[in-house]
Chains A and B, each alone.
Chain A
């Protein structure tokens, strides 16, 4: 058994670490801008930086750029050492790194330009989606090649989490990104309405599960024992909670769609599995925290352990809160409110952020063979970050509850106490200011960390290739007659990948396939017709501006909602919506039955400057829509795409669609002129008015007919 000498690639870890720090600050800054924009509409700077475009910039930056690079940083460091092997290919490492940064830069360019798919956490358009898939496959090959080349036979628990991450993220991304391009940076998903909602939230929740959770659990399982110099509390527990977690998590997606038009059976499945998920999630938390049993005094001294303990605690909190929010009775209060935002940020700032910081403070001194430059600054970071989380979450809990209860309150006479939605927004603006302050604290902490780490780097020298040695793994077929069945798979990474793949596919298939195949799940409504060409163009403007980030289009079957908005939303109303636009948040009122509520002139004035129609509104002004001409050259391609999906436009309609478009636009323009508004029919604002006036009117038509 010869001892082989090799070296660990630290340069790639360093690169990912630098990217993590940089994009962390960028992403948090975008978040701060978004938070400020919610305190005052004046912070919306022109068409490229309105809230609707900044919000996806923030989410993409913190999830894929900050956490993404954080995953790779920790994974590339730990995998090599757990496998006792250098990364499979230095070239693939470099392609992975630069490919990922290219994706981020493309996101940073395209999102402010309004090139978005309109689906949360999947906003990037189709060319970038393809790039993501390619880079992810390269990462998978590099990772798997390293595992196959390993000199440590047993796959430590962290590696199982990495394998599950790689395979599941690939499946999620590919399935949710099946879209038909109509131009270089515009596409429509093949799914529509309820089906799109289900696929989107199967993806969205599992982006949380398999991008924000499982890889970070893998990192936790490596870095906590390293930092504490103690093994995990219970290896058996790690096995059982791994399999339970990856099986159960997939099913939880429908908890984003409670009390919507999603069929009840799918909602119930989502709820039950979300509650069951408490067990494996807390298994992870218990394992992480109890690793420190008997060593808690060290947490006082060690800055790395401090960050990690808060991270795991936040993880435990968020994974209890999540299942609670999945209960219908709780969800009836929380959905569309800031409570959801609070929950997200406990997980994001607490679990992902703090663990990333802990790992950075652990890794950078080691990579550069030096000591951390300032323990005092690191401690300052710890406290200001923790304070930041509190100042973020507590105001959001307050505002979420306040707004929800105001929406639901009736007077003694049985009418809504706060019929004007704006009243409920104005009431919580002070909380939005506190939240922005909390975010600012967190950002300051990150900047202080960056400074501290830069000084640390300057005081040391990179150990770019860390020498190591280990005996080669014997190529023997080990007979597992006396061992236990799980040992079989712990040594077989390919089988582990395949079994994990099967396990995670089960939940998705059970929930999604019936939605796609059983007609009764989406009762059709005969009066629902496809959008007119002008309305279709208007809808694409709605998507481009990210209106769905503040406005929902889903009236729930509560009296408080039907009184405020009209008849609750039916599944059949959305069958032609590629993509669905139900939204997740009501910073502004629901628009599902907006059609016909206000005259065209109201909408024009409101889009031009919301405060003229709604004094005190925080909605951005969309002046450019009244000046910019609508690009109607895209209409034929859009009609053809819809026809490919089965939307019943007449054959050959793509050739004549623009005639209908102009006719409808001229009608609206003429109507506006009667109210004293001069606008030529070819302006974008005319299209979006057409769309808004169409919303929810299809079933009013059938009601009238009765």
Chain B
């Protein structure tokens, strides 16, 4: 039943290649970011559940 819907798409093979590129870019960028991220900020964010009764000054 569904075969008919997409029959007309020529060159459909390019999409998985685009997908792979997006995937690689996303994860490589995220890894680079993670390596370069500010450890102090990370520490602050990880303490959010422990500081329920404290009011943060809203930094950026």
Question: Is the Cβ of B55 less than 8 Å from the Cβ of A236?
Answer: no
Q: Indicate which residue in A235, A240, A487 contacts B30 across the interface (CB closer than 8 Å).
A: A240
A470 at the interface (CB under 8 A from B): yes
Closest-by-CB residue of B relative to A156 is: B48
Tell whether A473 is near chain B: CB-to-CB under 8 Å.
Answer: yes
Contact B55 A469 (CB under 8 A): yes
Contact A239 B58 (CB under 8 A): no
| Bound CA span A496–B33, Å | 17
At the interface, yes or no: A172 with Cβ under 8 Å from chain B?
A: no
> Are A236 and B37 neighbours in the complex by a CB distance under 8 Å?
yes
Residues of chain A within 8 A (CB-CB) of B23 are 247, 506
When the two chains form the complex, which single residue of B1, B29, B60 contacts A190, counting CB atoms closer than 8 Å?
Answer: B1
Q: Which of A193-243 contact B (CB under 8 A)?
A: 195, 221-222, 225-226, 229-232, 234-236, 239-240, 243
What's the Cα separation between A645 and B2 when bound, in Å?
A: 10
Docked-complex contact A506 and B19, CB < 8 angstroms? yes
Contacts of A484 in B (CB 8 A): 33, 36-38
Within the complex, the shortest CB–CB distance from A571 to chain B, in Å, comes to 14
Given the interface pairs A510-B16, A513-B6, the reply to whether A243 lies near B48 with Cβ below 8 Å is no
Asked if A261 lies at the interface with its beta carbon under 8 angstroms from chain B, I say: no
Tell whether, in the assembled complex, residue A485 and residue B45 are in contact, meaning their CB atoms are under 8 Å apart: no
From B2, B29, B45, give the contact of A517 (CB < 8 A).
B2
Q: How far is the CB of B33 from chain A (nearest CB, A)?
A: 5
The answer to whether B5 touches A154, judged by C-beta atoms less than 8 angstroms apart, is no
Which residues does chain B contribute within 8 Å of A190, judged by CB atoms?
1
**Shortest beta-carbon distance from A273 to chain B in Å:** 11
What's the minimum C-beta distance from A298 to chain B, rounded to whole angstroms?
15
Question: Would you list which residues of chain B between 15 and 54 have a CB under 8 Å from chain A?
Answer: 16, 19, 23, 26-27, 29-31, 33-34, 36-38, 41-43, 45-50, 52-53
Chain A residues whose CB sits within 8 angstroms of the CB of B45 once the complex forms? 154, 156, 235, 490
Closest A residue, CB atoms, query B9: A517
Residues of A within 8 A of B16 (CB): 510
Contacts of A156 in B (CB 8 A): 45, 48-49
Q: Distance in Å from the Cβ of A562 to the closest Cβ of chain B?
A: 31
Q: Are B49 and A236 in contact, CB atoms less than 8 angstroms apart?
A: no
Known contacts A1-B58, A470-B55, A485-B33; is A516 also within 8 Å of B3 by CB?
yes
User: In the complex, which residues of chain A have a beta carbon less than 8 angstroms from the beta carbon of B19?
Assistant: 506, 510
With A239-B34, A517-B6 already in contact, the answer to whether A231 and B43 are too (CB < 8 A) is yes
Residues of chain B lying within 8 A (CB to CB) of residue A229: 50
Report chain B residues within 8 Å CB of A152: 48, 56
Per the CB 8 Å criterion, the residue count for chain B at the interface is: 34
Say yes or no: A235 contacts B42, CB within 8 Å. Answer: yes
Query: Is the pair A82, B49 in contact by a Cβ cutoff of 8 Å?
Result: yes
A1-B58, A239-B34, A517-B2 in contact; A225/B42 too (CB < 8 A)?
no
Residue interface bits A83-126, CB-to-B below 8 A is 1, else 0: 01000000000000000000000000000000000000000000
Answer yes or no: A149 CB below 8 A from chain B CBs. Answer: no
Question: Counting chain B CB atoms within 10 Å of each CB, which of A231, A487, A518 scores highest?
Answer: A231
Residues of A within 8 A of B60 (CB): 478, 480, 482-483
Known A-B contacts A3-B55, A231-B43; the reply to A646 vs B1 at CB < 8 A is yes
Minimal Cβ-Cβ distance residue in B for A154: B45
Inter-subunit contact B2/A516 (CB<8 Å): yes
Confirm or deny: A673 has a beta carbon within 8 angstroms of a beta carbon on chain B. Answer: no
Q: Which of B3, B37, B47 contacts A231 (CB 8 A)?
A: B47
Q: Are B58 and A153 in contact (CB under 8 A)?
A: yes
A84, B48: Cα distance in complex, Å = 10
Within the complex, what minimum Cβ distance (angstroms) separates B52 from chain A? 5
| Bound Cα distance A221, B48 (Å) | 11
Q: Is the CB of B30 within 8 A of A486?
A: yes
* Residues in A neighbouring B1, C-beta threshold 8 A: 190, 645-646
Contacts of A596 in B (CB 8 A): none
Contacts of A231 on B, CB cut-off 8 Å?
43, 46-47, 49-50
On chain B, the residues within 8 Å of A490 by CB distance are 45
Instruction: Mark A504-526 against chain B: 1 for CB-CB distance below 8 A, else 0.
Output: 00100010010011110000000
Chain A residue with the shortest CB-CB distance to B5: A517
- Contact between A517 and B37 (Cβ–Cβ < 8 Å)? no
- B16 CB → nearest A CB, Å: 6
A interface residues, how many (CB within 8 angstroms)? 53
In the complex, whether A81 has a CB less than 8 A from a CB of chain B is yes
Decide yes or no whether A424 CB sits under 8 A from chain B. no
Task: Verify if A550 is at the interface (C-beta below 8 Å from B).
Answer: no
Residue of A nearest to B48 (CB): A156
Given the interface pairs A82-B48, A484-B33, A510-B19, the reply to whether A235 lies near B43 with Cβ below 8 Å is yes
Give min CB distance, A259 to chain B, whole Å.
25
**Residues of A contacting B37 with CB < 8 Å?**
236, 484, 486
A468 to B38 alpha-carbon distance, docked (Å): 30
Assembly CA distance A469 to B48 (angstroms)? 15
**Are the CB atoms of A517 and B38 closer together than 8 Å?**
no
Q: Are B46 and A240 in contact (CB under 8 A)?
A: no
Nearest-neighbour CB distance to chain A for B37, whole angstroms, equals: 5
A244 adjacent to chain B (CB < 8 Å) = yes
* A222 to B55 alpha-carbon distance, docked (Å): 18
| Interface bits A441-476 vs B (CB < 8 Å: 1, else 0) | 000000000000000000000000000111101100
Is the Cβ of B33 less than 8 Å from the Cβ of A486? yes
User: How many angstroms from the CA of A225 to the CA of B47 in the assembled complex?
Assistant: 9
- Does A600 touch B at the CB level, under 8 Å? no
Q: Choose from A235, A243, A483 the contact partner of B46 (Cβ within 8 Å).
A: A235
Chain B residues with Cβ below 8 Å from A222 are: 49
User: Which residues of the partner chain B approach A697 to less than 8 Å between Cβ atoms?
Assistant: none
A516 to B4, CA, bound (A): 9
Across-interface contacts of B53 in A (CB, < 8 A):
468
- Establish whether residues A244 and B27, one from each chain, have CB atoms under 8 Å apart when the complex forms: yes
**B-side contacts of A506, CB under 8 Å:** 19, 23
- A78 with B55: CB separation less than 8 A: no
List A contacts of B58 (CB < 8 A): 1, 153, 471, 473-474
B34, B36, B46, B56: the one contacting A232 at CB < 8 Å is B46
Given the contacts A484-B37, A510-B19, A225 and B50 also touching, CB distance less than 8 Å = yes
A580 CB to closest chain B CB (Å) equals: 15
Q: Can you list 14 pairs linking A and B with CB atoms under 8 Å apart?
A: A1-B58, A153-B58, A154-B45, A195-B2, A222-B49, A225-B46, A235-B43, A239-B34, A243-B26, A243-B30, A484-B36, A506-B19, A516-B5, A517-B5
Q: Which 9 A-B pairs have the closest CB atoms?
A: A516-B2, A231-B46, A235-B46, A235-B42, A517-B6, A156-B48, A646-B1, A478-B60, A236-B34
9 more CB-based (< 8 A) A-B contacts, given A468-B52, A517-B5: A3-B55, A152-B48, A156-B48, A156-B49, A221-B49, A240-B34, A469-B55, A485-B29, A516-B3
